[in-house]
């Protein structure tokens, strides 16, 4: 399987704290994407970082990519209860064909 | 409104029965994907298609079949050969090297 891994599997924090999730993948990539899933719903795209980029920001989100280590991290700053969800990374292979997801991190933010 | 639609939202299958899950998109995307999600798990790729009349197996294609007769449609059939079909099924579409858009999912239960 080409499936990647997120770490940690579960994360519980207080509102206002930062949340960091890590993703490792196995093959060469064209880009890496992060998605959010609320329970029982479809996934929503958060941010895409290309293989020639090292860091990207979007609002309270910061994503880094280290292609030499085949890893990425997602930082959510000043978390809110509404950020409670599962977060997945996905890799778009170099041919841009298959989109492979990791197993996800479940984030719980308590007020 | 542009988007991707899955139907039905809930589906019940009897033992030995084939069932078909619908996925339609009006985003003019070339690529479409089917994923299976089990409770507390990540997304596993079943099948994907980059172009009409062509599709490739993902990691867990056994017991499933697909067709891509139109760009807008990518139905998934869960056959009687799939021994453990109870899961949440997600369909997605995208263009090359961009983010994916997901439907709201179909929850399939064997009764």
CA distance B38 to B44: 9
Nearest neighbour of A1 by CB, restricted to B59, B100, B102: B59
Closest of A53, A64, A70, A52 to residue A4, by C-alpha: A70
3-state secondary structure of B46: strand
Q: Which residue ranges in chain A fall short of pLDDT 50?
A: none
CB–CB contact B59 A2 (8 Å): yes
User: Which of A95, A32, A37, A51 has the alpha carbon at shortest distance from B56?
Assistant: A95
The low-confidence residues of chain B, meaning pLDDT below 50, are none
Query: Å from A42 to nearest chain B CA?
Result: 4
pLDDT in tens, A75-104: 999 999 999 999 999 998 767 677 889 889
Interface mutation vs chain A, best among B89, B95, B97, most A CBs within 10 Å: B97
Asked if B97's CB is within 8 angstroms of A31's CB, the reply is yes
């Amino acid at each position: 399987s080409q499936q990647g891994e997120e770490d940690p599997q579960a994360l519980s924090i207080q509102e206002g704290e930062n949340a960091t999730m890590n993703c490792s993948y196995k093959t060469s990539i064209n880009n890496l994407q992060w998605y959010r899933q609320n329970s029982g719903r479809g996934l929503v795209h958060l941010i895409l970082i290309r293989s020639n980029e090292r860091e990207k920001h979007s609002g309270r989100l910061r994503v880094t990519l280290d292609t030499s280590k085949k890893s990425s991290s997602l930082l959510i700053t000043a978390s809110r209860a509404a950020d409670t969800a599962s977060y997945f990374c996905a890799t778009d292979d170099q041919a841009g064909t298959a989109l492979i997801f990791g197993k996800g991190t479940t984030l719980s933010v308590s007020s | 409104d542009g988007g991707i639609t899955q139907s039905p939202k809930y589906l019940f299958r009897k033992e030995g029965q084939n069932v078909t899950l619908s996925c339609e998109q009006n985003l003019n995307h070339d690529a479409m994907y089917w994923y299976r999600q089990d409770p507390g798990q990540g997304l596993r790729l079943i099948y994907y298609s980059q172009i009409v009349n062509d599709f490739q197996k993902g990691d867990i294609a056994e017991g499933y079949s697909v067709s891509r007769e139109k760009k807008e449609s990518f139905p998934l059939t869960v056959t009687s050969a799939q021994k453990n079909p109870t899961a949440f099924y997600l369909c997605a579409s995208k263009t090359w090297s961009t983010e994916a858009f997901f439907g709201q999912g179909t929850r399939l239960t064997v009764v």
